[in-house]
Chain A
Amino acid sequence: MNILNIRALRGPNLWGLHTAIQALVSCSGQELCLDHLPGFEDRLRERFPQITSFHPGAPLVSALELAALGLQAQAGCPVAFSRSVAIPDPGVYQVIVEYTEEAVGRLAIELALELCVAALDDLPFDLPSALNRLRELDEEVRLGPSTGAIVAAAVARGIPYRRLTEGSLVQFGWGSRQRRIQAAEMDSTSAIAESIAQDKELTKHLLEAAGVPVPKGRPVTDAEDAWAAACELGGPVVIKPRDGHQGKGVAANVESREEVLAGYAAAHEVSSKVMVERYLPGQDFRLLVIGNRLIAAARREPPHVIGDGEHTILELVDEVNSDPRRSDGHATSLTKISLDEIALATLAHQNFDADSVPRKGARVILRNNANLSTGGTATDVTDDVHPEIAARAVSAAQMVGLDLCGVDVVCESVLTPLENQSGGVIEVNAAPGLRMHLQPSFGKGRPVGEAVIGTMFDERDDGRIPVVAVAGTNGKTTTVRLIAHLLGLTGKRVGMTNSDGVYITNQRIDTGDCSGPRSARNVLFHPDVDAAVLETARGGILREGLGFDRCDIAVITNIGMGDHLGLNYISTVEDLAVVKRVIVHSVAPHGVAVLNAADPNVAGMANACPGSVTFFARDRHERVLANHLAQGKRGVFVDGDAIVGAKGKLRYRVALSDIPLTHNGTILFQVENSMAAIAAAWGLGIPWDKIRRGLATFVSDAATAPGRFNVFTHRGATLIADYGHNPDAIRALVQAVESMPSNRRLVVISGAGDRRDCDIRLQTEILGESFDEVILYQDDCQRGRADGEVMTLLRDGLTNARRTTHTEEIRGEMLAIDTALSRLQAGDLCLILIDRIDEALAHIAARNAEV
């Protein structure tokens, strides 16, 4: 068994809406059927008992598939979907396994293969270590608890998200509506405010000004000054570095001269600036303020053990650490207590060491700060907080300028105002950890992620911009451009991807075929985009899935006889329809699928659409369309000299004479493209007067739509340049050409080597019925074919041609064009099927200029 290649499907794909690893795997001989591998299943189960059962007659890849899924599941990843599919190549399968983290999915496939090989060859397989590797990798790459909670809240609200880095920088929403977070920071979180929060003295100064109680104290210059300050304050003090975090270098509740001097030294190691403050008696509370509201509060306790009069502190710590909620990292709600140097020093302070046996009931503190990351615990007290305390916390946040912060309060109780006890705010923390509020050690978890999302997005805002996805065999690019043009008239800044490039408000920012998910993601990331129209080619869907989770409008122009059949194991038009249907699957519940009713493979997709459907067809009597209209649903068709949008008794007409693209309705494929665009615009809620204006002003020429039915005149003859390369496109072109008056018709054509033989042959078969002269050419690029092979196929297609009287074979596209031009006379028509679009159009323009 060999893995031929591995792909990550990062968006909605052929197999569903979830992300998945897709591996191409080959098997041979006995591997094709597990029945022929005696003892394999038993050996497999010995090594991985949790693997689910599989069909005995299944191929070995099924074991790989289920192992990859099972290993992830056992490592704690919430995954459920997997599948193996045979492809036409004998012994080759697609194995699809859901993942939540791509790296974990890839490792799972790798480990599953190891497992299968071990079971085949009766070699050992270390399951615990494999699961551990997966678990550790998962913890490393997945979002941390704070970011994860915010992302989960966004997902629940239908807000799309995208990780911009491997860290915790996340984009919510799209285009101009996007927002960003990074762990517990929002894009609106002020950098200055964070700098203020970092400076404890400045923070205190500002809080004091805002009437928030803070412990009295001052910065000190040296150890003696620290002692002087302690004497001024009287009573126990806290010594801490001015810029510090996570409780480093803090000495709390010290009173004697020795302690103060030692505390100064410890603080001075962390920062050159040291503060001495009055020690506030009481407990540590963390108040979480988001926006201008108190969202959660927790009482925090430092790591400690309670003596039982029998066990040593070491044993007591081990016992506490045996709590399954305690892990070594952030993965669970608690972290293990470590008996490190700081802990031992803290013990020494209480006259203990690790082997001391504290008396029953004695509370032994192992650290002077209550951070969860060093083994502390948090108890939710949100519902206890006195409104006056909440108001002080909000004032503190506001004064520092933070829209998301943790306010550290020390007081006896949160049930009464700070002013009534000697409580105070000791610190304001930017980017606070949210774990203690999401999964407190004791008490209720609080919807913190929801609160963050709630301040970033209004109740009804999901951060999305209108997204239109367009797929189909022919007409995609024109339809995309037309929809983008109509959207632009509504004042929206439109981002567009198509096979020519990426356009933002009509400016091309990328070139080449941009109909894949990467370009789609770039458009949805661009800050100046208010709406997106995305050409969505099959290649990208197969390779990586969609670049978006959901669209408002999905347009399928047509499938016809298909194109590129045979590539990527898509060999029939039905297969192709399944691929293109992915965008219909991704339509939002309030969205619309715009489907060609005259194309049975397209019309059939209606059932897959979670939203509503608008059918279009030239003939209103097309059965699917007629039924749809009869049910009072939306349809678009041609009625006499106009395109009509109909719903129930409503009729919106757009005269064909007002759509220059259709040449008064004579170019039928442009009529169809117009209908698709009209249906999409209608679905987007664009007013009909704007739709009409847009259709009237849409320009499609060599400059704006190179290679899309570009019409020229040359010495009294008509030239049409087009990029059409499949039988359907050729048919549509022939129809268009036949509607145009001409004496003789000439055509210049080559064939793309990556199409099936029959498809290449069929193109000239169609042309032979309508053209008097055919100039065949081949270029250097044969896309995997031997020299002359394509030419032969094209020639074969002309064998029974009824109209063609002259055939020529030319090497080189430009020479072929020149040859055709030289044979042209006034009144003739010449269709040039160009391949190198820009070069050929420039060549034609140059020849025209010579006249």
Chain B
Amino acid sequence: MKRKDIRFLNLLSLRGPNLWTYRPVLEAWVDIGELEECPSNTLPGFVERLCAWLPTLSEHRCSYGEPGGFVLRLQEGTWPAHILEHVTLELQNLAGMPGGFGKARETGVRGVYKVVVRAWQEDVTRACLHAARDLVMAAIEDTPFDMAATHERLREIAGQHLLGPNTACIVDAATDKERGIPAIRLSADNLMQLGYGARQRRIWAAQSDRTGAIAQGIAQDPELNIRLLESCGLPMVDPADDKPQPDERGRYRLLVVGGALVAAARMEENGGAADVTEQVHPATATAACLAVRVIGLDIAGVDLVAEDIARPLAAQGGAIAGVHEAPAMIIHLHPTSGEPRPVGRAIVDHLFPNGDAGRIPVVGITGSSGTTEVAHWVAEFLRLAGKFTGLACGDGLYLDRRQAETGDCGTWRCGTQVLMNRAVETAVLENSAEVILGQGLAYDRCQVAVVTGIEPARHYGAYYIEKPEQVFQVFRTQVDVVLPGGVAVLHAADPMVVEMAALCDGEVIFFALDADLPVLGAHRALGGRAVFVRGGQLILASGTEESPLLPLAQIPFLAGDHANGRLNSVLAAVSAAWALGIALHVIRTGSETYSDEPAKAPSFDVTDPFVPITHSA
């Protein structure tokens, strides 16, 4: 039955890197039905109605690369899915989120499109997408649309779901290009994880995970605050002295992070704040830092009164009014006069000193087959190297040697769970094509990416994937996220995989059964690393240099019927272990001892002693 309507067939939350972009997006499968016959230029008054409701659409550049580009496309004629994309982005914009990535693509089915928009926050983006559909339909059908109410409602939803300003400014500073620290939102509130696994830190507004509960309690008790600070010789405002006398002294708020003054603002009569960071006298900065140290906080605001912030407090009857935990940072980010201060960055530098990005080694494994096997092998090598390893793969979730969950755990959810775990020192995460297509990767970047091999036809059918190029796009996602210092481990015998080498920001290690593959030769000629088999030996080659690791005959895993299928997995895993810098003797031992029998931890049942003995010697 044909109709003129925009219908959502499916809504996918791609919560990590995906075939469209590195960032989380919402992917809507949209069926526009007979509207396929109705490009925008054929609908009388449509463009005017749309632009009247959303005048800011005129800013969209679209394919023309300059403001007004999208309106031009509207006038020339474009299809509803494309319009839906732009309207959703614009509604997100109006709801308070910066613009961002958007795409609309045809599928092989007539009238069905994939509309992809950057999802700053899933619930908000979802609401914007639905509102955009209604708005576009109203414009098409020339029915009334309450733009003001929609705007209001979306702002409200954004207010409920987006991070608060304090948290957001820290997260932005952490995740920007310069620091490149990954972030995971742990709750609907402002609890954020920065970094992965054992290297993570947490923040919640302007509190860090090292902000002590006792110190907060002290800061919240004004009387105790004063008593402790006074005993350390700090000049304090007398709380009893509350007569409303004309006070010549100005009120100041100093922000102290990690023992250093990072910003200062003078609070204005009108509620504004003027940045005075550069003017603070060093002795006053020292006093503020001491006050924070006495209370025991790592991040704090210090309120003080002074006639002139550029002079020491004592010389002018200046005094500290109190120390506050979880200080508001907005006055330093948006002072009404003077320089904004990078206070988010200061907190991030305090949490992650010396440029540390809070990362643990993450190994991402993808391909059409053999990936679970490779994941187990790599995890085993890492465990042997003494790392507490989290493994999320096709047959379960493993924390070190313990299986914590059964079933298919090569998913975004399980991968995220591993990266959230504070015990995890390295993570091995398997990703199928379905995960990349339907969920996104659990991590933003990885240390090592393994692509075992691709059989395009296996992936046709689902997700409107029909061509080899599309399959390539899916799997390349894994290689795209390799860190500059990382390694892509690629199957040299698979031309499609070999093609991905050029996309890798880091190094490439090729593996193959056949030592004489031209790809290996060319790679090694340029000094590249490769892993292959020659004369029954497993060889690690670095440029022209070759070191035999061990004879295949010593790998029990390869004994028996499945030897050929398994050998590629072993090569991939050994390559990954080598890429991770695991010592060769550990890799050798791991290869000699690995078994896919479920590891049985030596355990005893304490009730055993009470089991009656029924036999005698």
Contacts and interface: CB of A to CB of B under 8 A. Distances in A.
Given A504-B233, A522-B232, A189 B214 contact: yes
Nearest to B216: A191
Contact of B397 (A182, A211, A401): A211
Interface stretch (A15-23, A48-56, A195-203, A558-566): A195-203
Given A169-B214, A525-B232, A209 B605 contact: no
Given A415-B606, A502-B233, A528 B421 contact: no
Interface stretch (B43-51, B92-100, B398-406, B460-468): B398-406
Interface residues of B, number: 45
A416 B417 contact: no
B232 A526 contact: yes
Interface string A181-193: 1100111111111
Interface of A: 164-165, 169, 180-182, 185-196, 199, 202, 205-206, 208-211, 386, 388, 395, 398-399, 401, 415-416, 430-431, 502, 504, 509-510, 521-522, 525-528
Interface stretch (B113-121, B203-211, B301-309, B528-536): B203-211
Interface in B189-237: 189, 191, 202-204, 207-218, 224, 228, 231-234
A190 B399 contact: no
Contacts of B127: none
CB-based closest 3 A-B pairs? A509-B233, A211-B404, A209-B417
Contact of B421 (A186, A386, A399): A399
Nearest to A209: B417
A189 B231 contact: no
Interface centre among A181, A182, A186 (most CB of B within 10 A): A182
A720 B425 CA distance: 70
A382 to B, nearest CB: 14
Interface stretch (B60-68, B289-297, B498-506): B289-297
A525 B214 CA distance: 16
Contact of B606 (A206, A210, A386, A502): A386
27 contacts: A164-B224, A165-B224, A169-B218, A182-B214, A189-B212, A190-B210, A190-B211, A191-B325, A192-B204, A192-B208, A192-B209, A202-B186, A202-B187, A202-B191, A205-B186, A205-B187, A209-B420, A210-B399, A211-B421, A415-B606, A416-B605, A416-B606, A431-B213, A504-B232, A522-B233, A527-B290, A527-B293
Interface string B390-429: 0000000101001011000000000011001111000000
A395 B209 CA distance: 17
B607 interface: yes
Nearest to B398: A211
Interface centre among A190, A399, A504 (most CB of B within 10 A): A190
Nearest to A213: B404
A180 B214 contact: yes
A185 B189 CA distance: 24
A528 B290 contact: yes
Contacts of B210: 188, 190
Contacts of A399: 421-422
A509 B421 contact: no
Contacts of B397: 211
A431 B217 CA distance: 13
B211 A192 contact: yes
Contact of B228 (A192, A206, A211, A525): A525
Contacts of B416: 209
Interface of B: 186-187, 189, 191, 202-204, 207-218, 224, 228, 231-234, 290, 293-294, 296, 325, 397, 399, 402, 404-405, 416-417, 420-423, 603, 605-607
A185 B290 contact: no
Contact of B213 (A190, A522, A525): A190
Given A190-B212, A527-B290, A182 B217 contact: yes
A187 B296 contact: yes
Contacts of A165: 224
Given A522-B231, A526-B232, A191 B606 contact: no
- Specify the main secondary structure of chain A where it touches its partner: mixed
Contacts of A209: 416-417, 420-421
Nearest to B205: A192
A191 B423 contact: no
Given A164-B224, A210-B421, A211-B399, A194 B405 contact: no
B212 A191 contact: yes
A202 B191 CA distance: 10
A528 B293 contact: yes
B384 to A, nearest CB: 21
Nearest to A195: B204
Nearest to B208: A192
Nearest to B221: A165
A415 to B, nearest CB: 5
Contacts of B296: 180, 187
B228 A164 contact: yes
A399 B417 CA distance: 11
Contacts of B215: 187, 191
A211 B405 contact: yes
Contacts of B204: 192, 195
Contacts of A202: 186-187, 189, 191
Contacts of A398: 422-423
B186 A206 contact: yes
A376 B296 CA distance: 37
Nearest to B231: A522
A415 B296 CA distance: 41
Contacts of A211: 397, 399, 402, 404-405, 421
Nearest to B210: A190
Given A192-B191, A199-B187, A401 B228 contact: no
Contacts of B422: 210, 398-399, 401
A430 B231 contact: no
A527 B202 CA distance: 26
A527 B405 contact: no
Contact of A185 (B187, B213, B234): B213
Nearest to B605: A416
Contacts of B606: 386, 415-416
A187 B203 CA distance: 18
Nearest to B188: A202
Given A186-B214, A189-B212, A211-B397, 17 more contacts: A191-B211, A191-B215, A192-B202, A192-B203, A192-B208, A195-B204, A205-B186, A208-B417, A210-B420, A211-B404, A386-B606, A395-B423, A401-B202, A416-B606, A509-B234, A521-B231, A525-B228
Nearest to B286: A507
Given A185-B214, A504-B233, A525-B232, A191 B224 contact: no
A199 B188 CA distance: 11
A528 B417 CA distance: 41
Contacts of A189: 212-214
A191 B417 CA distance: 23
B163 to A, nearest CB: 15
Contacts of A191: 207, 211-213, 215-216, 325
